[in-house]
Structure 1
């Protein structure tokens, strides 16, 4: 028997499903989740993102900034199956959250709107799904506020997808307002009702021609991979409805097309049709495992999608069960071979957790207190298993130096940073021992702002944050020969005596430091030569301008010693004295690090990117089309490190939030003039 939507009962059922809600920033993903929860009866009424009453975005930082800053999880029951939805942030700064979730999901719903400015952001999201061959629907949201027809919108959105967008529904307009839709597969019309199931009506007479044309376009696209359907279309034979749905499911699961559904999450319109499409067309667990290459037989297996540290329950590892099942107390082994015992299983609904006794195949649950588990791990009840393939995390684009406001919290800060990076692997912590700074690197201004807020609100460490110092160096332009350094001290008993003569000369850029021993006749005994080199190196850690010295050669030519008073320490001091005497006269000059930068932007923003580079004392080396990315360019440039501090902020502002870059050290360049004088004066004042 066919159900009310014309599909056969039970088709496509595959047990618990896990569906990712993804899409550009502010496309309405969290509102869609809320609408699904309300429509399926998982919550009593639909909450609001703006009012802070939604199940998703329940964290303090998400509420404060009115945006998703981490993946949110909630589940519903629909027609006998459980559907777990993972609402992923849309901002490019938080896209790594999505990357942890995607490997183990069955399908994705890409939420977007008819906004040409958001096409590059949509392309970023779709590319992630395409590369993993994840089946995906596109939900065209905010249909109630659209200013152009859906059929006109699809050509605008198509450049974001490498496979065709397949229109499944067309809106019914009345007085410029979308009041319902026609389902092209069902050939039925529905009138929206606020936060309720749509009402079935006859297709309006003035919409019939448009419906027939749109339906034929859909069937024509399906016939590209169905010869029998092609013959029926040529012979003007109406194909059976069941086979149309079979073709739709086939195209979705094989990545041949992206079905496009329409609705309004804010008003709860289109939710039931979306859920039925997921039920009948999205792959079940068996098909997902086949796509992932995970054998059905073997030890119980799970994929860690996300790590959460809570105040009361400790560490939670959100895990999708890919094989077998888990229960409380089970001993699991991660990919590295480390084991731990599960201390409780929970099903998450936003910020709340409900204990469950077991987790079956396909379930998505939080496993308690597995300290060895990391996001991306494969957890096995037997031998260690390989984790699911995942792309490398994006390179960080912004950095902050941190320290605890209260020095007694230094140890606490270290532990908090470890938990923070455990939750969010795209955050990177580095210790700059030379400058004595703890550096936190991330994906942008908001990403780091949220991280600092969490250190305070979640982990109880008040933080001072500021831009990191630049790793300036200094070198010399002029040589100095025959410079003597003598250390002599007599204070009763054995004294101290060391005497050296050195030549100092600049080296080619990038040569570093060279020490040459040319002493003859034993003027400096062999056992003290290493001490002279060590004393020289000690001085070069901070030269006359206050910075580490590079590209300098020092040659030991002569000296003298005392049979009783000479020592390693005395010759170290003598070398430092010689260096301090000679270096100021060698025309010291400041060197600044220059980075090689690759900037990726939509093509229409390339001119803006070039202007940004030029305004930051950068040198443009050229630009070319981004390989494999239609409508994108890569700008190659050299930019001083001191100009990189807020580059990503300006770049994102000029590219509707999607521009990015990667950078690496290229060379040291001389810096002179007023800017160099200010840098030197600032360093000397600090020291």
Structure 2
């Protein structure tokens, strides 16, 4: 086995199960690494491919259908008597919120990546999140068998993605252009790879001694930046002990001042044992994580980072116990003091669950039917409130689709199912638009929504059609007019009579609606004036162009009444008639919503995005460096809402999948010509 120095053999027992996230850019081999780890530790009989029907990772039907991770996969295993939970997180930016929630409770993370400059922005997104949240992390350079660039050149290439120094801990052994093994710079031992098996120790190749000495000294220099005694030894040409080197690597990782870099090939099972040894001896225990999260030792606390609904099993909340312990049947208290009794405690292995009686600090388990507890809550078994761990906020939606039921009988079921869907994935939102009378599902991209709707049908048996999202156009007027509206009806007994004269005037954009009255001599009795305003507002819900009316002023100037036949309803109807006759004479015009958009992109893509905005009828307001993000820019622009529908798709295409934006309504602007004609025609068809 690839052994290290004698100080490692004791392990770190008694620290509870350690939880490690596997993260990295899309298609870098995260799930393959999970399968390799499970095979090497004996959790599964052999290493499976993600396409295998019995793989642990990507086991959901949606993940298999699309060939990508779409949710966090959780698996427990044991290595040299130490317990580990691995959480394989999705790589696509569209599913990053689930990763963010899982990272909250992890002791450390393995960042899987390839030596590809095109992946640097995606790698930077991940490393920055880990740095900002103080999560210790390793970099695992995967697919070493396909490296085209020397490792000594790869590290400087990747360094701009990390604010922490990347500390290379291994160098590869090459034979005829093939990586056949590696040298561990800490232990100064050489290993040769064995396909899907533990590496074997060999003599350090003669031709590699100079390179090994150079790389080891560089590693020690980086460690000496945080250890004065080590620095003195290097300056005095004193060789530090291996124990000291390993201690420094462990301490610096836990402090979060370095990012160690290991090499391997997940597909061939190379470098897995060395990675596991590093995790075993250097990843902090759950107590350290609880301290980082502000949870006191005296608390009994667990954090719910995932919710799963199944058609037959009901709701299961996935939580990690940070302090104390949980037992089946225990009563949990949530953030608002609500109490829920655990109805089943489960160990997790991908999609499979196994019942258990108790969970100790460090364990990650499923909690059965604690329906009143939500994702992102910190729960406790004690009667005193527990400090709530700060959960990451869901990102703002950037893509949406209208929903239409295939079966009208599913209307009630749809509302319930969407609620459960959002509980599983808080980065989804549902909008019930009054202006467009549409149900809109909002999320992080086209694939995100596609997977959500597939789950909606598979889990909750609700099938929907995707409908083009309608824009909340408004209309207003350009010039004033004065008009009379009279409602007179006689049909035996009391009749109906209402008569009003109103003035309709435009108001400045964004002012809204105002109603005034200038009645003299009691032409319209005071008790009927509120009904006139109600009648005006009735009409304003759908003006002559077919859209809600805004930014107008209506003044009641005159009218008449009948002592017997006048009523609230008659004056309300008279006001409607006056508006219907008067609005077309006021030069009505369509208004479209304009969004204030902040677009964040790598600097090399700024010019491309600058070209995209005018093509969408947008106006560039300016751009600047993104604060705290070296090599990124933020562009500010105004873009019509009608042009935003597929912006995120084009943006990510131009930025290797990492571009993002936030948008908010800014103002309404006049829309004329063919675009206005199309909007009016579409509205007529929609309401026909």
Same fold (TM over 0.5): yes
Matched, 1:60 2:33: no
- C-alpha displacement at 1:669, in angstroms? 0.5
Alpha-carbon contact 2:4-2:187 (below 8 Å) kept: no
Residue 468 (structure 1) shift: 1.6
Measure how far apart 1:313 and its partner are.
2.1
Is the contact made by 1:56 and 1:350 (CA closer than 8 Å) also made in structure 2? yes
What is the aligned partner in structure 2 of residue 421 from structure 1? 422
1:305-454 equivalence runs, <5 A: 305-382=305-382, 383-454=384-455
Q: Is the 8 A contact 2:596 2:665 kept in 1?
A: yes
Following superposition, the deviation at residue 531 of structure 1 comes to: 0.4
Does the CA contact (< 8 Å) of 1:12 and 1:283 recur in 2? no
Other-structure match for 1:660:
660
Stretch moving more, 463-472 or 561-570:
463-472
Aligned match of 2:556: 556
Residues in 1 aligned to 2:312 and 2:263: alpha-carbon distance in whole angstroms:
41
Alpha-carbon shift at residue 425 of structure 1 (Å): 0.5
Q: Name the structure 1 match of 2:22.
A: 21
1:82 aligned partner: 83
Give the equivalent residue in structure 1 for 2:269: 268
- Return the alpha-carbon distance in structure 2 between the equivalents of residues 146 and 7 of structure 1: 33
- Contact 1:398/1:442 (<8 A) preserved: yes
Q: TM-score, normalised by structure 2?
A: 0.98
Per-residue deviation, 1:289: 2.2
Question: What residue in structure 2 maps to residue 181 of structure 1?
Answer: 182
CA contact (8 A) 1:532 1:574 kept: yes
CA displacement at 1:258 relative to structure 2: 0.1
Change (3 A) 1:427 1:686: closer
What is residue 167 of structure 2 aligned with on the other side?
166
Scaled by the length of structure 1, the TM-score of the pair is 0.98
SS of the residue 2:239 aligns to: coil
| Alpha carbons 2:401, 2:442 under 8 Å: kept | yes
Counterparts of 1:77 and 1:391, CA distance in 2: 30
Structure 1 partner of 2:130? 129
Shift of the alpha carbon at 1:607? Answer: 0.8
CA-atom RMSD, angstroms? 1.2
Instruction: Tell me, in whole angstroms, the C-alpha distance in 1 between the residues paired with 2:17 and 2:679.
Output: 61
Q: Distance in 2 between matches of 1:44 and 1:51?
A: 14
**How far apart in 2 are the matches of 1:669 and 1:314?**
48
Note the residue ranges of structure 1 that are not aligned, 5 or more in a row: none
8 Å CA contact retained: 2:287, 2:322? no
Q: Is contact 1:6–1:241 with CA below 8 Å preserved after alignment?
A: no
Greater CA deviation, 228-237 or 201-210? 228-237
**SS class of match (2:537):** helix
Give CA deviations for 1:109-146 in whole Å, capped at 9, x if unaligned: 11111011011001111111111101101101001111
Q: After superposition, what is the alpha-carbon deviation per residue over 1:460-502, rounded to whole angstroms, capped at 9, x for unaligned?
A: 1011112321000111111112x11000000000000000011
Q: Could you tell me how far apart the structure 2 residues matched to 1:684 and 1:274 are?
A: 63
Aligned to 2:223: 222
Residue 514 of structure 2 corresponds to residue 514 of structure 1: yes
How far apart, in 2, do the equivalents of 1:634 and 1:132 lie?
Answer: 22
Partner Cα separation in structure 1 for residue 683 and residue 166 of structure 2: 58
Aligned to 1:120: 121
What SS does structure 2 have at the residue aligned with 1:229? Answer: helix
Q: How far off is 1:361 after superposition?
A: 1.3
Shift of 1:6: 3.8
Q: Distance in 2 between matches of 1:463 and 1:331?
A: 38
1:9 shift after superposition:
3.0
- For residues 560 and 196 of structure 1, the distance between their equivalents in structure 2, rounded to whole angstroms, comes to 97
Pairs within 5 Å for 1:454-603: 454-481=455-482, 483-603=483-603
Give, in angstroms, the shift of residue 51 of structure 1: 4.1
CA–CA distance in 1 between the matches of 2:427 and 2:420?
Answer: 13
In the aligned structure 2, how far is the partner of 1:421 from the partner of 1:319?
18
Contact 2:5 2:242 (8 Å CA) reproduced: no
CA contact (8 A) 2:294 2:389 kept: no
User: Aligned partners of 1:373 and 1:7: how far apart in 2?
Assistant: 44
- For 1:556 and 1:301, the matched residues in 2 are separated by 64
- Name 2:293's counterpart in structure 1: 292
8 Å CA contact 1:401–1:467 kept in 2: the answer is yes
Shift of 1:5: 4.3
Matches within 5 A, 1:636-651: 636-651=636-651
Q: 2-side partners of 1:328 and 1:683: how far apart?
A: 56
- 2:369 and 2:321 map into 1 onto residues whose CA distance is 17
The count of corresponding residues between Structure 1 and Structure 2 is 684
Distance apart, 1:674 and its partner CA: 1.1
Deviates more, 1:389-398 or 1:61-70: 389-398
1:146 alignment counterpart:
147
Tell me the distance in 1 between the aligned counterparts of 2:385 and 2:370: 15
Offset of 1:618 from its aligned partner?
0.4
Q: Deviations over 1:276-328 (max 9, x none)?
A: 00011111122222222221123x21111211112232211111111111111
Establish whether residue 281 from structure 1 lines up as the match of residue 294 from structure 2: no
1:546·1:684 contact (CA, 8 Å) conserved in 2? Answer: yes
Secondary structure of 2:104 counterpart = helix
